[in-house]
């Protein structure tokens, strides 16, 4: 897959070539075509995934050829990020007549005021300073087409909710809104519900260069919706090889048949399968023929399952040691390794026990529409 396949215009492709980028990252592959169509988007992605370009590229593309007035606003939590996004927009618009200005606090007010009054295509701003300018009517958002909320979780952590609300109140309701966040706590979900129209959720695993990094996450989800969540995660991400653990044999079979209905080909590995069948399933999994393998704990013991990018605990392991054992399968040999645990309300206690055993809290990630807490 190339950047041209994503539908980006020539000036952008040239700028990407200048930047030396050869291929889009997973978040870019998923987010860019949707953003180009004008869809609202929730991007669950951390720094380092290429998330900035996943919104700056479509934003610049959509600005090409239009009239010169402020059509895009990007809100960022910090001055550093503001400058980073500005630089990104500059980089991708190096071959196009798109203008950008960073607006943040702690520096002179007048130069920003002058530039804003002159009119500029893209404003990248921290909420506090932008609100000052809005109140002084230095900036006009009448023609704004796209709003980007970058690192929304951090903005809310920093207490920017009131400023964001007041800013968005002054932006046309009919617009495109893109929200990016590393995590999805209930506050960010609420923000998404309030400001986005039928958003598509795009989620990618962390791209880490450290071979030993395992990213743990717990997904709160009602028990009867775990299948749906699994299908959702598998269809909305770039997970290459996923080992799914269930508590029981029948549970494993059910997951396999539910995945089959969603056209996701998965194999099962449990005690009712012969040793030969298990080895075959494992071989198909390792060769990439099977993207998903669903196993019970007992079945995988003694087998070498290295090189796995993701482990999903469909059921919370009953013994904390099993958790450690399972996630030991990922992150060791693979360059990435994520371990997700689906936690129903009944399993909260077991997760706490695991957290005490491993001596760390596992971050909660909630997927809009699935969290039992909301």
The contact set with ligand AMP (CB under 6 A) reads 21, 23-25, 28, 47-53
User: Which residue number places its CB atom closest to ligand AMP?
Assistant: 52
Q: What is the distance between the alpha carbons of residues 331 and 213, in angstroms, rounded to a whole number?
A: 6
Q: What is the distance between the alpha carbons of residues 46 and 52, in angstroms, rounded to a whole number?
A: 10
Rounded to a whole number of angstroms, the minimum distance from the CB of residue 164 to ligand AMP is 21
Residues forming a β-bridge with 171 = none
* Residue placing its CB nearer to ligand AMP in the complex, 2 or 306: 2
> What is the dihedral angle through the alpha carbons of 338, 343, 348, 353, rounded to the nearest 10 degrees?
-30
Rounded to a whole number of angstroms, the minimum distance from the CB of residue 113 to ligand AMP is 29
Give CA 40 to chain center in angstroms.
14
Which is it for strands 146-149 and 242-246: parallel, antiparallel or unpaired?
A: unpaired
Rounded to a whole number of angstroms, the minimum distance from the CB of residue 299 to ligand AMP is 38
* Residue placing its CB nearer to ligand AMP in the complex, 3 or 340: 3
* Residue placing its CB nearer to ligand AMP in the complex, 21 or 314: 21
Rounded to a whole number of angstroms, the minimum distance from the CB of residue 119 to ligand AMP is 27
Phi-psi region of 20 (alpha: psi -120 to 50; beta: other; left: phi over 0): left
Question: Are 42 and 192 within 8 A, CB to CB?
Answer: yes
* Residue placing its CB nearer to ligand AMP in the complex, 3 or 104: 3
Rounded to a whole number of angstroms, the minimum distance from the CB of residue 289 to ligand AMP is 28
Going through 104-214 in order, the beta strands assigned E by DSSP cover 122-125, 146-149, 176-181, 200-203
* Residue placing its CB nearer to ligand AMP in the complex, 5 or 304: 5
Rounded to a whole number of angstroms, the minimum distance from the CB of residue 216 to ligand AMP is 21
What string of DSSP letters covers 327-341? Answer: HTTBSSSSS--EEEE
Rounded to a whole number of angstroms, the minimum distance from the CB of residue 115 to ligand AMP is 24
Q: What is the distance between the alpha carbons of residues 151 and 360, in angstroms, rounded to a whole number?
A: 24
Q: What is the distance between the alpha carbons of residues 260 and 258, in angstroms, rounded to a whole number?
A: 5
Residues forming a β-bridge with 41 = 178, 200
* Residue placing its CB nearer to ligand AMP in the complex, 10 or 197: 10
* Residue placing its CB nearer to ligand AMP in the complex, 151 or 371: 151
């Amino acid at each position: 897959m190339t950047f041209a396949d994503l539908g980006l215009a020539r000036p952008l492709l040239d700028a990407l070539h200048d930047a030396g980028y050869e291929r889009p990252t997973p978040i870019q592959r998923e987010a860019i075509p949707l953003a180009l169509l004008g869809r609202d988007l929730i991007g669950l992605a951390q720094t380092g995934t290429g998330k900035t370009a996943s919104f700056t590229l479509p934003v610049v593309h959509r600005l090409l050829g239009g009239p010169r007035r402020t059509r895009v606003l990007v809100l960022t939590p910090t001055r550093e990020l503001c400058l980073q996004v500005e630089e990104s927009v500059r980089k991708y618009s190096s071959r196009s007549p798109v203008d950008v200005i960073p607006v943040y606090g702690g520096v002179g007010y007048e130069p920003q005021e002058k530039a804003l009054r002159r009119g500029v295509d893209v404003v990248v701003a921290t909420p506090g300073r932008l609100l000052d300018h809005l109140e002084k009517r230095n900036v006009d958002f009448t023609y704004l087409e796209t709003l980007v909320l970058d690192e929304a979780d951090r903005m809310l952590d920093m207490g920017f909710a009131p400023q964001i609300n007041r800013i968005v109140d002054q932006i046309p309701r009919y617009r495109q809104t893109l929200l990016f966040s590393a995590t999805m706590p209930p506050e960010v979900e609420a923000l998404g519900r309030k400001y986005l129209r039928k958003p598509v959720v795009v989620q990618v695993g962390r791209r880490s260069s450290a071979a030993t990094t395992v990213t743990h996450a717990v997904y709160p989800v009602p028990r009867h919706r775990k299948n749906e969540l699994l299908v959702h995660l598998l269809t909305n991400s770039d997970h290459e090889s996923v080992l799914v653990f269930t508590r029981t044999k029948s549970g494993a079979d059910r997951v396999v048949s539910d995945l089959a209905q969603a056209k996701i080909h998965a194999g099962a590995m449990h005690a009712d399968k012969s040793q030969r069948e298990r080895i075959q399933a494992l071989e198909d999994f390792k060769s990439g023929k099977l993207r998903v393998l669903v196993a019970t704990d007992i079945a995988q013991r003694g087998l070498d399952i290295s090189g796995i990018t993701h482990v999903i605990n469909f059921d919370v392991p009953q013994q904390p040691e099993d958790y450690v054992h399972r996630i030991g399968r990922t992150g060791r040999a693979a360059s990435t390794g994520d371990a997700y645990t689906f936690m129903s309300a009944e399993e909260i206690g077991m997760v706490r026990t695991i957290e005490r055993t491993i001596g760390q809290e596992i971050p909660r990630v909630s997927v809009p529409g699935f969290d039992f807490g909301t």
